[in-house]
């Protein structure tokens, strides 16, 4: 199973690209932070990202989702069924902790060590570039200018951990899905 990561600034269109990939038959895994936020907000907590345990909750859900995908992955070597695409990874959670000015926890450190040692994700990371704006949602309360800072923090985190960033520039959705597909459909590099 080859696992690719989509990353980039909030509001860059990762979710739309992920849905497009799913429609093409690729197995996709949605962003964990959004799920953690939505669950907490449904229970009446307005800003769960201010809670000290938030980063660890995100990394735990990322780990659970990755391990669940491993157990159900197909065994063939060709076609979309051998590829999973993740909306963010624990390296993004590292960027989030850095951006929020929080210490990198033991749980996050351990998960980054695990994904590195076990080579969980492909070294090529699909970096979805900003669209020139950032629309707020209940889970995304960041200005466009703040999102650009967050984008840089993501770049720095991935480079620090030795990943190769593949730029997916701002464009219409069909072209962006095609750009991602051209990377993830290539034969596995040894």
In three state form, how does the secondary structure of the chain look?
CEEEEEEECCCCCHHHHHHHHHHCCCEEECCHHHHHHHHHHHCCCCCHHHCCCHHHHHHHHHHHHHHHHHHHCCCCCCCHHHEEEEECCHHHHHHHHHHHCCCCCHHHHHHHHHHHHCCCCCCEEEEECCCCCCCCCCCCCCCHHHHHHHHHHHHHHHHHCCCEEEEECCCCHHHHHHHHHHHHCCCCCC
Q: What is the pLDDT of residues 34-93, one digit of tens each?
A: 899 889 989 999 888 888 899 999 999 999 999 887 533 333 444 556 899 999 999 999
Superfamily of domain 2-184: P-loop containing nucleotide triphosphate hydrolases (3.40.50.300)
| pTM > 0.75: yes or no | yes
pLDDT of res. 72: 37
Q: Are 150 and 9 in contact (CB under 8 A)?
A: yes
Q: What is the pLDDT of residues 139-186, one digit of tens each?
A: 666 777 888 888 999 999 999 999 999 999 999 999 999 999 999 998
């Amino acid at each position: 199973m080859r696992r690719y990561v989509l990353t980039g600034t909030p509001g860059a269109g990762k979710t739309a690209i992920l849905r497009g990939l799913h429609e093409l038959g690729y197995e996709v895994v949605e962003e964990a932070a959004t799920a953690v936020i939505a669950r907490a907000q449904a229970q009446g907590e307005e800003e769960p990202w201010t809670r000290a345990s938030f980063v660890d909750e995100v990394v735990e859900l990322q780990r659970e989702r990755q391990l669940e995908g491993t157990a159900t992955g197909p065994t063939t070597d060709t076609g979309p069924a051998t590829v999973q695409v993740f909306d963010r990874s624990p390296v993004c959670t590292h960027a989030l902790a850095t951006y929020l000015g929080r210490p990198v926890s033991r749980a996050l450190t351990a998960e980054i060590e695990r994904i590195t040692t076990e080579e969980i994700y492909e070294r090529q990371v699909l970096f979805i570039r900003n669209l020139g704006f950032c629309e707020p949602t209940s889970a995304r309360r960041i200005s466009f200018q703040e999102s650009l800072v967050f984008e840089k923090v993501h770049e720095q985190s991935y480079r620090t951990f030795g990943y190769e960033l593949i730029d997916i520039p701002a464009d219409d959705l069909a072209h962006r899905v095609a750009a991602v597909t051209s990377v993830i459909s290539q034969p596995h590099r040894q």
